[in-house]
Every structure is written in structure tokens, then in C-alpha cells.
Copies of this chain bind each other. A is one copy, B any other.
Amino acid sequence: MKLLRVNMSLLSVASEPVPPVYKHLGGRGLIAKLLLEEIPPTCEPLGPHNKLIFAPGLLGGAGVTTAGRLSVGAKSPLTKGVKEANAGGTAGDTLPRLGIKAIVVENQPESDNFYLLRVKQDSAELFEANELRGLGIYATSQQLQEKFGSDCTIIMIGQAGEQLLTGAGIANTGEGSQRANFAARGGLGAVMGSKGLKAIVIDKAPAGSFSYADGEFFRRASKHFAQEILEDPKLGPKGGTHTYGTSAITGAVNEMGSLPTRNFSAGSFEGSTTLRGEQLREKILARGGEIGKRCMPGCVIACRNNYVDETGEPIVATVQYETIALVGSNLGLDDLDDVARLNYMCNDFGLDTIETGAALGLAIEAGFAQYGDFDSIAALLKQVGEGTALGKVIGSGAVVTGRVLGIQRVPAALGQAMPGYDPRSLKGNGVTYATSPQGADHTAGNAFGARNQVNPLGIEGQKELSLKLQLISVMLDNTGLCLFARPPVISDPQLMVDMLNGIHGWGWTPEDLDQSTREALKTELEFNRRAGITAADYRIPEYMRREPLAPHNAVFDVPDSELDSIFDTL
């Protein structure tokens, strides 16, 4: 395995053997370690000292179901701390098959040119690519696949990343015509833009190009793992996640009073019925769209959909829960067609739908559009692509939008917008938002699934729950596994260890895996500490401690002392 070092100042690419310090690390954990070892933690996120890292997980490329996610990371221009965001698509499986453990993009070009990184089986090279400037995600990927072959993976930014907007994400393509699998969070698209890198084109790996330490042993564990997922009542062929996609939970989040509604001013939405997974499925199937698609090769959960309009024409793939919450109920919109159209626009500009949905909610509060009025909202969002001043404000995310437009009720922690769970009535998520080195993030330790074990409205047990979930998230993000793979990972930790040993031959025990997970989280916390981030930066916004949230009239009341002590046992 090798690291590709891409120097955007010299416009050169070097390949090096993986330094020993990074050997046992992958995905999120590798990113954290690389950032801690190699960049000044106080550096400016969009300056030359930051590094942008693409790192598949430790199970990537081996053919483990749901384990092909690509981690992308850097010091975040949004949180000012360590950042990892991951996405489905084909990159996370392809890179390890090409023998690439990570691509590390360093420095910045002298000029304002944009470049393309072309990665082939045995070489990698940078090319000037100004002709792609100003193109959205869909046109960029289409042009590049037409040129380099439809089986290439394209990793890219849209207009938002080009403009260095801190709400920008990074997309990568998937099987078939999939164009928009997003490593959405933390403003990583702006970091890619600041490197002058518009896109990466990666050749498909030749068949049989992955080598196992013990292929037989691996396949046994891997098959068992897939079986456990298939048999899981939620994940398997009849499970909600497969049947309805991530939107399966819309109804439940609404019922627990945690659904972001009109800029997080209520926790349940009178129009939520038409945003539920059942409606989504029905509508899509009746119109000739598709349900139960996969975002990664070999995934047996297949929560993806192809959302189409009344005439059967595609609007966007895929409409997911967080988007439904943030650009649906959070903007007072109850029509999935509207959500799908805003989703498409966000995707095309290369914007995180969570950050952007939260920013749009704030712009509505400031009077620039109206809740429930698709046209006024779409007109606002359109400005991001056009590069108007207001578009740039919204594209910069929730905190900047609140500050510029004079709105104090900003649903964010550590500079990053909250996802689709109001922390006042799902307090475990509040603890995660206010303590995770990743900031407010639904994949960093999501307590929704544990709502029957720990009372989401109570204080007791939230700290312990959040820590447990944060560690599981790190483990998943280190290996490239999807968050939905949580059940078998929890119930049978030996399986993970067996799969890792089958691939890498490390002879790990479950304790080694646990140790490595804890180390990764500690590395992230240490990076943020050195970056100058303190408890003050992590806090839940004041209004959420003051303003009760309907329907439970809950405030966020987990004491700061609980938040500050969460990692004492790490």
C-alpha cells in the first residue's frame, strides 16, 4: 500500500510507501493522525498548510458489504477543528484495489487555475482543468466520464467549493449513473477549492487486484457479517431501511418531537405525514422511480432511491432523511417534490444539504424568503450557484448566515449546523453535538436508535450513551463501514476483528480494535485542543437551553459539567 502525495504548489504527485505510524490506521483514524502529525493545528483551514486527505477504510476494497465508504478529511473551515466526512460511491473500494491507502493533497497553486488529478493503476498526474470551472457536480462528472470512461470514479466539487464557501461538500460518483455521493460536512469542498483541485478521476481497478492475508478466513467472516445484516429486522429485505430508505424514520422523529421545524422552532411538523418514508416509497414507485438501490457495490441494505417527478423524469438520487428534515420541515415544506428539487440544486452546486438547509431557515427568519414557499426558497438557493452576495452568505453555512443576517437562533455546535434531530428532545444527540470533535453531526454518535434504552427527554445516562455511540462511530468510520452496519458490529465484535485479520494479517484481538478506536478519538480531541478549541466552542446554543421546544416543552438541560467530563473515561 502507498500514499499519494499531491503537491499543488509544485503540481507534482509522489507515491510513497505508507509510513509505519499510519500502517494500522484507515479512514477517519488515518485522517486524524495525519492531521495531527503533519499540519500545524492552528493553521488557516483554507491556507497552504492545511492538507486534504482522501482515505478509504480498513475494510475498503475487500468486498465487505456496506464497507466501501470513502473518508475525506482536513482541518475544517467550518468547525476550525479536525474533520472527517464520508460517502458511498465507488472511490472507497477502488482506491485500496489500486494499492492506495490515502491521497494527501498538500499546499496551494500560485495561480488561480483549477486542476484535475488523474489516478491510474500505476501512475497519477495533475492536469490544468480550467474548462471545468463553474460547472456543477452533474455536468462535471458527466463530462469527465465521457472523456475518461463511464467506469471511472470522479471525486469533485461544484460551484460552492470553487467559491471557497464553507457549506461546500465533496461528491463522488458511484455505480451506473450515480453522480452525487457526498462527503458533505465540515466545508471540505472549500478546502478542495482552496487547493485548486476541481476533480479527481480514478480508473476502475482491474479484477482480482486486491490481496488478502488469509482470503479464506476473511471470506468466512465477511459472509457471516453480511448474513447478520440481512437477518437484522430493520436492515434486511423487509426492514424499514431497505424498504423506505433513511426516510423510514421521519415519522418516528416527528412523534418524538425532535423533527427540526421552521428553523428549529418546533419539534413536530403538521405537514410531516407527506414527508414520511411510506409516502416516499409509494410516490416513487407509482411514478416509475426506484427504491432499494445501493450507493456502494455489494451493499445488501440498499437504502437509496431514484426520485422521479410525475412524468417519471428523474429529479434526484437519493432523497434522504437529513435532507427531508433540513430542507423540508425545517423550511416549512411538506411536499417531497420540493425537497427533491432543493436536494438536486444543493447537490449540483456541491453543497451540504444539512448546512444549507439550516442556513436557508435562518435566511427565512431574516425575511429573505417564506416558510413553506418553494419558489422563494429555491430563488435564494439558486443564488449560491450564481455567486451573488446573498448566495455566498447562505453557502457559507448556518453560523455565518445567522451572524450576517442578525439572527441569534442558530442551530449549530462547533460552527456546524445541527442535523435532523433537535437536541432538546433527543438529549443524547445534544451531548454528541456538544462534545464530538466533529461538531454537530448525526454520524458522530446518534442516539435516535437508542431512544428505547435511554429516555431521550431525560438527562440520566446521556453522557454514557453518547460516549459509547461516539466510539462505535469512530470504529465504523475507521473501517469504511456504513452507520447502518452498527447492529452486527455491536452484537458480534469478533466479526470485525476477523475480517480485519483476514485482510491485513495483523492478528488483532477485540481489545486491539477497541484500543485503536479509542486512540483515534483521542487523536481528534488532541488535534482540536492544539487548534485552540475549548469547551466554549463546543456548547449548545443558549436559546436551546432557554426556549422550550413543542410538543414536549423540552429545553436542553444536560449540565455543562456532564459535557466537560464525557471523555474522562476514554
Check if A403 sits within 8 Å of B166, measured CB to CB: yes
Residue of A49, A77, A389, A541 with most partner-chain B CB within 10 A: A389
Stretch at the interface among A60-68, A95-103, A142-150, A392-400: A392-400
Give A532 to B539 CA distance when docked, in angstroms.
Answer: 11
Answer whether residue A42 sits at the interface, using C-beta atoms and an 8 A cutoff.
yes
Chain B residue at smallest Cβ distance from A80: B536
CB contacts (< 8 Å) of A542 on chain B: these are 43-44, 47-49
The 8 A CB mask of A158-175 against B (1 = contact, 0 = none) is 000001111000000000
A sample of 28 inter-chain contacts (CB < 8 A) reads: A41-B536, A42-B536, A42-B539, A43-B542, A44-B408, A44-B541, A44-B542, A46-B408, A47-B408, A47-B542, A47-B543, A77-B403, A163-B406, A164-B408, A165-B406, A389-B389, A389-B393, A390-B390, A392-B405, A392-B406, A393-B393, A393-B404, A400-B400, A531-B536, A532-B534, A532-B535, A532-B537, A533-B534
Interchain nearest-CB distance for A244 vs B (Å): 38
Check if B164 sits within 8 Å of A406, measured CB to CB: yes
CB contacts (< 8 Å) of A42 on chain B: these are 535-536, 539
The 8 A CB mask of A526-562 against B (1 = contact, 0 = none) is 0000011111110101110000000000000000000
Answer whether residue A509 sits at the interface, using C-beta atoms and an 8 A cutoff.
no
Answer whether residue A376 sits at the interface, using C-beta atoms and an 8 A cutoff.
no
Mark A residues whose CB is within 8 Å of B.
41-44, 46-49, 77, 163-166, 194, 368, 388-390, 392-393, 396, 400, 403-406, 408, 531-537, 539, 541-543
CB contacts (< 8 Å) of A403 on chain B: these are 77, 166, 396, 400
Chain B residue at smallest Cβ distance from A537: B532
Interchain nearest-CB distance for A360 vs B (Å): 13
Give A49 to B541 CA distance when docked, in angstroms.
Answer: 13
CB contacts (< 8 Å) of A41 on chain B: these are 536
Interchain nearest-CB distance for A133 vs B (Å): 14
Chain B residue at smallest Cβ distance from A391: B389
> How many copies make up the complex?
2
CB contacts (< 8 Å) of A535 on chain B: these are 42, 532
CB contacts (< 8 Å) of A396 on chain B: these are 403-404
CB contacts (< 8 Å) of A49 on chain B: these are 542
Residue of A368, A532, A539 with most partner-chain B CB within 10 A: A532
CB contacts (< 8 Å) of A77 on chain B: these are 403
The one of B46, B404, B543 in contact with A389, judged by C-beta atoms closer than 8 angstroms, is B404
Give A396 to B402 CA distance when docked, in angstroms.
Answer: 11
Interchain nearest-CB distance for A523 vs B (Å): 18
Interchain nearest-CB distance for A14 vs B (Å): 23
The one of B46, B368, B536 in contact with A532, judged by C-beta atoms closer than 8 angstroms, is B536
CB contacts (< 8 Å) of A46 on chain B: these are 408
Chain B residue at smallest Cβ distance from A380: B389
Beyond contacts A42-B539, A404-B404, A532-B534: 19 other A-B pairs, Cβ-Cβ < 8 A, are A42-B536, A43-B542, A44-B542, A46-B408, A47-B543, A163-B406, A164-B406, A166-B403, A194-B408, A389-B389, A389-B393, A389-B404, A389-B405, A393-B404, A400-B400, A531-B536, A532-B535, A532-B536, A534-B534
CB contacts (< 8 Å) of A541 on chain B: these are 44
Residue of A49, A388, A392 with most partner-chain B CB within 10 A: A392
Chain B residue at smallest Cβ distance from A546: B48
Give A532 to B542 CA distance when docked, in angstroms.
Answer: 16
Interchain nearest-CB distance for A162 vs B (Å): 9
Interchain nearest-CB distance for A135 vs B (Å): 17
Residue of A390, A404, A533, A543 with most partner-chain B CB within 10 A: A404
CB contacts (< 8 Å) of A400 on chain B: these are 400, 403-404
Give A316 to B455 CA distance when docked, in angstroms.
Answer: 63
Closest 3 CB pairs of A and B: A532-B536, A389-B390, A532-B534
Give A164 to B401 CA distance when docked, in angstroms.
Answer: 13
Chain B residue at smallest Cβ distance from A394: B389
Residue of A42, A403, A543 with most partner-chain B CB within 10 A: A403
CB contacts (< 8 Å) of A389 on chain B: these are 368, 388-390, 393, 404-405
Interchain nearest-CB distance for A204 vs B (Å): 34
Interchain nearest-CB distance for A415 vs B (Å): 11
Give A44 to B537 CA distance when docked, in angstroms.
Answer: 11
Residue of A46, A388, A535 with most partner-chain B CB within 10 A: A46
Give A163 to B402 CA distance when docked, in angstroms.
Answer: 12
Give A403 to B403 CA distance when docked, in angstroms.
Answer: 12
Interchain nearest-CB distance for A349 vs B (Å): 14
CB contacts (< 8 Å) of A537 on chain B: these are 532
